Amino acid sequence: MNAPLLRVAGVTKRFRGVVAVNDVSLDVPAGSICGLIGPNGAGKSSLFNLITGYLPLTAGEIWFAGRRIDGMDTHLIAEAGIARGFQIAKPFPELSVLDNVRMGALFGRAGPRDVAAATEGALALTGLADLADRPAMTLTVGYLRRLELARAIAQRPVLLLADEPCAGLNPTETEEIVGILRQVRDRGVTILLVEHDMRAVMSVSDRIFVLDAGSKIAEGAPAEVARDPRVIAAYLGAPEAAG
């Protein structure tokens, strides 16, 4: 297999004694969709915060496209090609949908001449073209999720970190988001996906990493992971009995 696009190697994050991420290593192959799952508080969002440089690591290394990125400034990591969609959608509320998405394109990797194309493309892909002039704060949750994705897509990322893009959505809306993610992947964007909706994440992912209490407890193809007793124990809370 090729060298992974993203390599998280022995990464640890401590907040004053609390270990949020504990010696986690994972490789995300280029062109794949990888799922990152685990119970609440497992360290998934913390890991995203570490990858995007929002928080400094306590130990370990993060490599992206052959470059070591831990310790780099957040905006430079974004420039290198990592885009992030937030768990709680964070559009710029006062700006229009169009300006939100354009913001992604302007500061992404599209290049000055392709800003318009990147913006239009992202709006079309997420089905937001008709809402372009609406202020972001007037959107429903479902459309906010799309906007969150659209802005990230407009950045023309190499790697998209999607943090629960389906949270709070009904099954139909979830299907639509999954469809968008597949299309994004088909355009060559690698995706690391945190998602609680098991059906969604199992159906879309090529590979799954499972975190529990800050540590990686399992990794593999969706079907393998679903059978893994440690994973079942982590989710169902059954203690030693399962292992």
Partner 1 sequence: MMMAGGTLPGMLAQGIAAHRGWIALALAALVLLALAPLYLSPFHVRVAQLFLLSAALAIAWSLLGGFAGYWSFGHTAFIGLGAFVAGLVETGWTWPSPALAFAVGLLAGALACALLAGLIAYPILRLRGIYFAIAMLGVAQVLGELNNSIDAFKGTMGIVLPQLAPRAVEPATFYYYLLLVAAAVTLAIGFAVKVSRLGYGLLSIREDEDTARMLGVPTERYKIQTFVLSAVLTGVLGIIYAHSLGFITAGSVYRTDFSLNMIVYALLGGMGTLIGPVIGAGIMVVLTQIVLGRLLDTHMFITGALLVILVMLAPRGIVGFVKPILARWRGGFR
Find the DSSP H helices in 34-137.
44-51, 74-80, 97-107, 115-125
Q: How far apart are CA 7 and CA 61, in angstroms?
A: 8
Burial annotation 85-117 (CB, 10 A radius, 16+ → b, else e): bbbebebeeeebbbbbbbbbbeebbbeeeebee
Smallest distance from partner 1 to CB 60, Å: 21
The answer to whether residue 65 forms part of the interface with partner 1 (CB under 8 A) is no
Question: Nearer Cβ to partner 1, position 5 or 98?
Answer: 98
Q: Counting runs of H as helices and runs of E as strands, what totals does the chain give?
A: 9, 10
Q: Does 87 bind partner 1 (CB under 8 A)?
A: no
From the CB of 100, what's the least distance to partner 1, in Å?
9
Question: Of 238, 217, 243, which is closest to residue 26 (Cα–Cα)?
Answer: 217
**What is the x/- site pattern for partner 1, positions 36-55, by CB under 8 A?**
----------------x-x-
The answer to whether 84 contacts partner 1 (rule: CB under 8 A) is yes
Q: How far is the CB of 102 from partner 1 (least distance, A)?
A: 7
* Identity of the residue, 120 or 176, whose beta carbon is nearer to partner 1 in the bound complex: 120
Pairwise CA distance, residues 232 & 207, whole Å: 17
Query: Per-residue string for binding with partner 1, 119-148, x by CB under 8 A?
Result: xx--------x--x----------------
In three-state secondary structure terms, 92 is: coil
Distance CA 13, CA 113 (A): 40
Q: Is 17 in the site for partner 1 (CB under 8 A)?
A: no
For residue 155, state whether it binds partner 1 (rule: CB under 8 A). Answer: yes
Is residue 204 involved in binding partner 1 (CB under 8 A)?
no
Q: How far is the CB of 84 from partner 1 (least distance, A)?
A: 5
Q: Does 99 bind partner 1 (CB under 8 A)?
A: yes
CA 7 – CA 32 distance, rounded (Å): 13
Of the two residues 99 and 219, which places its CB atom closer to partner 1 in the complex?
Answer: 99
Q: Among residues 36, 57, 105, 149, which is the contact residue for partner 1, using CB under 8 A?
A: 105
